[in-house]
Amino acid sequence: MSTLLSIEEPAAAPRRAKPQWSAFTEMGFRPLYLAGCFWALASVLLWVHAPARLTGVLNGMPWHAHEMLWGFVATIAVGFLLTAGANWTGKNPLRGTPLAVLCAVWIVARAGYLVPGRPAFVVAAAADLLFFLWAACALGRAVAVTRNQRNYGIPFLLLGLAVANALYLSASVQGDYVALMRYFNAGLLCMAVLTLLIARRVIPFFAKRAVAGLDIPAHTRSGHWLLGAGIVAIACLVAGEPRAAALALAATGLIALAQWVSWKPWAVRKVPLLWILYAGYGGLGIGLLAGAAHLAGYVLRPAWPAHVIGVAGFSVLILGMVTRTALGHLGRPLRTDRSMVLSYALIILAALLRLAALLPTSATLGFLHASASAWALAFALYLWRFFPMMIRPRADAGKAAAPVMKVVPVARRPAA
C-alpha cells in the first residue's frame, strides 16, 4: 500500500504564541474581518437601541443603510479580496504599515459619520472613498503586474462600489430620497454581482474538497451569463430603466439559484462550514428575485429586497466565509466547534426575525429587537472565538522547524 508523509503535533503541546503586530497586519482578512464584524454588531445595536445618538449629517435610515452596505458588507469583501488576491497573483496587495493605514482610514470614516457637523461628514466621506479606491488600486496593481487576466474585472467592481458610495452620499446631503434609493440599490447590486462572482468559484471548490465523491460542474458559461446579467441590471438601474433592470435582475437570480441546485445542497447538510455558505448563496438568489419583483411594480415593500439580499444573503454568507477562510489562512483545522455552529444558527434566526419584522403585525417591534439581539450574539461569538487567533501567527507557523513525522496509509487518511 502506498503511503503519504503526515506531519502531526508533538506529544507535548507547544506554548501559545504571543500576539504580534506583524502577524495581525500580515494579510487583509485579519484586521478587516474583525473590523467589519465588530461594526456589524455595534452599528445594528446603535440603530435599534440608540438611534437618538446618530446625530451626524448622515443619520437615521440613510446612515443605517450606508453602514450596513459600505461599512459592513463591503468591508468584509475588501478583506476577502485583498487576501484572495495574494493567492490569485502570488503578490500580497497590502500588508504591514500600508494595511494598518488603510484600516485607520476606515476607522476615521466610521467615526466621522457619527460626529455632528458638515466638516466631520466631509472628512468621513473622503476617508470612506479613499478606503475603497486604495483597496481597488492595490488589488488592481497586483492583478495587472502578474497579468492575472481572469481577475481583471474585480478591481473595477470595487471601483463601482466606490462610485455608488459617492453618489449615495451626495444624494443624502441634497435630501433627494429617490436618487438616494437608486444609488443604494446600485451599490447593493454591485456588491451582489461581486459576491456571486466570488462565491461561484469558491463554494464548489470548498465543497468538492470537503465531501468525498461530490462532483459539481464548473458552470463557466453560466457564470459569464450571471456576470453579464448583473452588470446590465446595474446599468439599467442607474439609467432609470426599472423594467429593464427587473428583467436582468430576474435572470441573475434565476441563474444563481440554478447553480445552487446543481451544487447538490443536500450533500453538504452534515458539514456546517458548507451548509452556511449554501444557505447564504440561496438567500442571495431569492433576494435578487424579490428585487426584480419590486422593480417590476409588484406590491412589495422596498425594505423587503434590501433585507432579503442583505440579511438572508450577504450576512449569512459572510459569517460562513469569514469562518472558513480565516481557519484556512490561520493554519487551523477546517472544523467548526459549538460556538461557530451556534453563531450560524443565530445569524439565520436573526435573518428570519428581521424579515418577520417587515410584516404588518403588532409584533413588529418585538421581532426587530429579537433579531438585533440574535445578530449581535452571532457576531460577538465570532469575535470572541477568532480575535485571539487573528492577532497571533499561524497555528502551523513553527511546525516546519521540528516536525513529528508519521507514515499514514493513504486508504486510512481522512478526507479533507
Pairing assessment for the beta strands 404-409 and 3-8 based on DSSP bridges: antiparallel
pLDDT for the residue numbered 412: 41
Q: Per residue in 349-363, pLDDT tens?
A: 999 999 999 998 899
Q: Is residue 152 part of a domain?
A: yes
Q: Is residue 378 part of a domain?
A: no
CA separation for the pair 137, 14 (Å, rounded):
40
- Number of other residues whose CB lies within 10 A of the CB of residue 150: 9
CA separation for the pair 313, 62 (Å, rounded):
20
Q: Is residue 157 part of a domain?
A: yes
CA separation for the pair 155, 141 (Å, rounded):
9
Say if residues 234 and 190 touch (Cβ distance below 8 Å): yes
CA separation for the pair 125, 157 (Å, rounded):
19
CA separation for the pair 188, 79 (Å, rounded):
18
pLDDT for the residue numbered 398: 60
pLDDT for the residue numbered 331: 92
pLDDT for the residue numbered 403: 37
pLDDT for the residue numbered 198: 87
> What CA–CA distances, in Å, run from 32 to 25, 70, 77, 192, 208?
10, 13, 9, 19, 28
CA separation for the pair 123, 58 (Å, rounded):
12
Q: List the one residue out of 114, 78, 74 whose CA is nearest residue 99.
A: 78
Mapping DSSP onto H, E and C, the string for the chain reads CCEEEEEECCCCCCCCCCCCHHHHCCCCHHHHHHHHHHHHHHHHHHHHHCHHHCCCCCCHHHHHHHHHHHHHHHHHHHHHHHHHHHHHHCCCCCCHHHHHHHHHHHHHHHHHCCCCCHHHHHHHHHHHHHHHHHHHHHHHHHHHHCCCHHHCHHHHHHHHHHHHHHHHHHHHHHCCHHHHHHHHHHHHHHHHHHHHHHHHHHHHHHHHHHCCCCCCCCCHHHHHHHHHHHHHHHHHHHCCCHHHHHHHHHHHHHHHHHHHHHCCHHHHCCCHHHHHHHHHHHHHHHHHHHHHHHHCCCCCCCHHHHHHHHHHHHHHHHHHHHHHHHHHHCCCCCCCCHHHHHHHHHHHHHHHHHHHCCCCCCCHHHHHHHHHHHHHHHHHHHHHHHHHHHCCCCCCCCCCCCCEEEEEEHHHCCCC
Say if residues 369 and 325 touch (Cβ distance below 8 Å): no
CA separation for the pair 112, 127 (Å, rounded):
9
Q: Is residue 8 part of a domain?
A: no
> What CA–CA distances, in Å, run from 71 to 24, 41, 194, 260, 314?
20, 11, 16, 28, 13
Residues of the chain with pLDDT under 50: 1-14, 400-416
One-letter amino acid for residue 308 of the chain: V
Q: Is residue 72 part of a domain?
A: yes
One-letter amino acid for residue 354 of the chain: R
Q: Residue 53: which domain range?
A: 20-175
Residues forming a β-bridge with 7: 405
Q: Is residue 162 part of a domain?
A: yes
What's the total number of domains in the chain?
1
Q: List the one residue out of 324, 315, 104 whose CA is nearest residue 191.
A: 315
CA separation for the pair 213, 210 (Å, rounded):
9
One-letter amino acid for residue 167 of the chain: L
Q: Per residue in 109-130, pLDDT tens?
A: 999 999 999 999 999 999 999 9
pTM of structure: 0.89
